[in-house]
Structure 1
Amino acid sequence: MKKSVRNIIIGVIMVVSIVSIVYSKVKPLEVDVFKVEAKDLYDYVEETGKVVSENEVIITPKTTAQVIALYKKNGDEVKKGDLILKLDSESIVKQMDTISAQMKAYDEEKNSSLSLLKNQINSQSIQVGETKAQRDFAKHIYDQMTALYEQGSLSENDWKTSKQTYETAESTYKQMASNLNNLNAQYKNTTNSTGTLNALQSQYDTLEIQVNDCNVVASSDGLLTEFDAKLGEFVSQQAPVGKIIDPSNYSIETYVLTDDISNLKLEDEVVLILKENGIENEFRGQIKFIAKSAEEKISSLGLIEQRIKVLIQSEELTKNVKSGYEVKVKFISEFKKAALSIPKTSIFKIEDASYVYAIREGRAIQLKIETGVDSDSEIAVESGINPDEVIIKNYKLEGLMPDKKVIISKNSKQ
């Protein structure tokens, strides 16, 4: 009796198992699907770009000195002539004070010399007048003596004496007049002597320019960027401390490998991706500039690469960014218009041939396909499927096999 009960139980279990196996084979498999549609498909080359301004002015101090005051900070809007920072000019001002004192001393010495010469000229002029009068009187006597001598009324000795007196007076007068001329010439030369003063003035003017150069001002209107000067630090002559950019004229600058540049041309559309608060937002842009020659760039792996500069413009993107922002740039390397595209996850290989599972008359069937252009997640099908074909997304789904009865998941989008 016990043996019969045990056999019955075993039989029931076997029947249930067989029924379960049969049911599992005939039970429809629930699958997620998508409907094949024709759409434009792109393959991209992705690079990293940076927002730059096409109109930018480099801020470079004209002298090396310590920063003693900051009037603007990074990101401020500036107007032409605005004071951005001030450098220490104390040592220059001291040099100017020294030269100014030298100029004053020189001027005082010159005025003193001119005053002395003027007094000497006045005194000499009096002496010239006196010797001229003496000369004229001696000449008058000499003329009278000569007339008497010629008439025989005067001895030769007396005539010679009057002549000698006249010649002495004439010589004295000429010497005094010559001395006066020399003093006048010296006065004129002293008055016109500007060489030393001009040299000092030139030094002073140069230092004054250097003092003005210690005031670093904006040379144009715009946005102050990459400005990192700090109080107390030294800035070097001709070493940039920042930029002034035109925020209304942004571009995205990137560098493309020479192997990829042949696929790009001016006015090509590109996809720009800006990450904000962890969310990637896509924008459209156009290539506006492609450099004619390559530049050496160092890759993230430290390799030397030949890359070509490319500039992209995007009105919708530049409304949301500032100079220096990093942007992903996706260049279209291949394009297929109205392609029948499917997700890459739906494709599987059998002996190097590509297949997908499609649904026809409620059953899964294998379709051999030929593929073409592929993007990040999709691939174009050149042959093997029809428009509106319903394709199973996950070919790895457990229980999925050719001719398997399937039902479409309620959550599946077609």
Structure 2
Amino acid sequence: MKKIWIGIGIVLIIVLFIGINLYRSAAQTGGSAITDVKVGKLEEKEIAATVMVPGKLKFKNEQSVYYESEKGELDKVEVKPGDKVKKGTVLLTYANEQLKLEQEKNELALEANRLKIEQISDKKKALNNKGKELQKELGEQKAREQIESERSELDMEEKTAQLELKQSLLEEKSLEHQLDRLEVKSDIEGTVISVDQKAASAKSDIQEPVIHIGDTDHLIVEGMLSEYDTLKVKKGQKVTLTSDVIQDLTWKGTVSSVGLVPDQQAETAAAAASTAEQAVQYPLEVKIAGKLPQGKPGFKLIMDIETDKRKAKTLPQKAVKKDGDQYYVYTIRDGKANRVDVKIGETADDQMEIKEGLSGDDQVILNPSDDITDGTDVKA
């Protein structure tokens, strides 16, 4: 009895297997499966052409103070990292003994010149009194003749003394200016980023700043434009900023300036290149709007510059497929997928511009899977 049940089970399994194969064969020979698809038509949307440029985050205003040996020895640094400074704040001072000695000599020369002028003035007064006495004795004409040479000599001495005084006054102003330069002041309002007093004594071909100040409240992004892109990028255009380091965040900005002449360093590099021609590049500056990036100056950012906004006929980007250099879509014709080659334009916000190949009435498959080919049975 047990053997009979085992035989019945084997027969049922064989019948089931044959039934499945017959069903598959019927499906293949009797007609293909119908694929459900989502369809849509060309839509007129506003798209923007963009230029993507790498850039670097920088302070809009910054100041680097380097050691200047001609001013003397570094005396005192008046600030430390993190200090907020205003324009005109004293940052560091120099000590210059030679200048102080010259100032003292100048003060003595000024005093001597003034004393000399006073002495000449006293002599001229005495000469005038002498002239009055001679007029009483000899008459006005003879008295004038007798003291004329002495008066001329005093006039010449007075002119010389005045010139010497003027020269000493000019030297005084020059020394005051040099002494004033011994105090180095901030040119901007900002934050002290770094202080390195060792830079004043370092012996290196590359000089480092003793003090670095930056305006941390106003950052910009600087980059370079090619000759081609500089024709499209204009002041005031909108910019979207992203970073590979600070992911999932974007910032907005506007183009604040585009260089009228090529960057000098790029030109120098181009001139120095002997084996390959270097592309001419133009400086670009973007002003950040709203909240500033979390990154520090020096961080690399990507600038996506909106250069042209216009109306265009578009499809979702996933509706367009590519075969080599040819772009194409699938439309529905008589219940079947129909491949149509298209010419595309700009791509923006997951929308692709369709320039040629479709009419406004065409039903386009918006979600073509890899299984769909030309002639596949589909149902919208």
Give the alignment's TM-score, normalised by structure 1. 0.54
- Whether 1:242 aligns to 2:212 is yes
| Equivalence for 2:190 | 223
| Consecutive unaligned residues in structure 1, runs of 5 or more | 111-187, 409-414
- Give the corresponding residue for 2:46: 40
Letter in 2 for 1:14: I
State the SS of the aligned residue for 1:365.
strand
Q: Quick check: 1:256 aligned with 2:229?
A: no
**In the alignment, residue 212 of structure 2 is paired with which amino acid?**
G
Q: 2:127 maps to what in 1?
A: none
Which of the residues 364, 374, 382 maps onto 2:346?
374
Partner of 1:400: 372
TM-score normalised to structure 2 length: 0.58
Distance 1:306 1:365 in 2: 49
Residue 307 of structure 1 is aligned with which of 271, 277, 281?
281
1:348 match: 322
Q: CA deviation at 1:18?
A: 2.9
Q: Secondary structure of 1:305's partner? A: coil
Residue by residue over 1:178-220, the C-alpha shift from the partner in whole angstroms, topping out at 9 and shown as x without a partner, is xxxxxxxxxx9xxx9xx9xx99x969984x8666544432134
Q: Which residue of 1 aligns with 2:151?
A: none
Deviation readout 1:327-381 (Å, 9 max, x if unpaired) = 422234565513223316731338x6532234578x5512414223132754311
CA-to-aligned-CA distance 1:145-192 (integer Å, 9 cap, x gap): xxxxxxxxxxxxxxxxxxxxxxxxxxxxxxxxxxxxxxxxxxx9xxx9
Using a 3 Å threshold, how does the CA distance of structure 1 residues 378 and 22 change in structure 2: closer, same or farther?
A: farther
Identity among equivalent pairs (%): 14
Q: Secondary structure at the match of 2:279?
A: strand
Runs (5+) with no aligned partner, structure 2: 113-156, 271-275
Instruction: Pick 1 or 2: higher relative contact order, CA cutoff 8 A, min separation 6.
Output: 1
C-alpha root-mean-square deviation of aligned residues, in Å?
Answer: 5.4
Structure 2 CA distance for partners of 1:355 and 1:406, relative to 1, 3 Å: same
Q: Is 2:87 the partner of 1:73?
A: no
**Partner SS state of residue 400, structure 1:** coil
| TM-superposition CA deviations, 1:71-101 (whole Å, max 9, x none) | 1426x532123233x3563xx34x5677799
What count of residue pairs does the alignment treat as equivalent? Answer: 311
> Are 1:49 and 2:55 an aligned pair?
yes
Whether contact under 8 Å (2:106, 2:172) holds in the other structure is no
Say if 1:82 and 1:217, in contact at 8 Å, map to a contact too.
yes
Q: Report if the CA contact (8 A) 2:63-2:187 is conserved.
A: no
Contact 2:238 2:305 in 1 (8 A): yes
Which of 20, 26, 30 is matched with 2:24 structurally? 20
CA distance in 2, matches of 1:317, 1:35: 40
- 2:139 aligns to what? none
Q: Which amino acid aligns with 2:20?
A: V
State yes or no: 1:273 paired with 2:238: no
Decide which structure has the larger Cα Rg and report it.
1
Output the CA distance in 1 between the equivalents of 2:379 and 2:75.
Answer: 75
Question: Structure 2 matches for 1:71-220, cutoff 5 A?
Answer: 71-73=79-81, 76-84=83-91, 86=92, 89=95, 92-93=96-97, 95=98, 206=175, 213-220=181-188
State the shift of 1:20 in Å. Answer: 3.4
CA distance in 2, matches of 1:354, 1:102: 87
Q: Per the alignment, in what secondary structure is the counterpart of residue 279 of structure 1?
A: coil
Answer whether contact 1:47 1:254 (CA < 8 A) is retained. Answer: yes
Contact 2:80–2:194 under 8 Å retained in 1: no
Distance 1:69 1:274, change over 3 A: same
**1:63 pairs with 2:68:** yes
Kindly indicate whether the alpha-carbon contact (under 8 Å) linking 2:251 and 2:293 is maintained by their aligned counterparts in 1: no
CA distance in 2, matches of 1:9, 1:318: 71
Distance 1:375 1:7 in 2: 61
Q: Which amino acid aligns with 1:230?
A: D
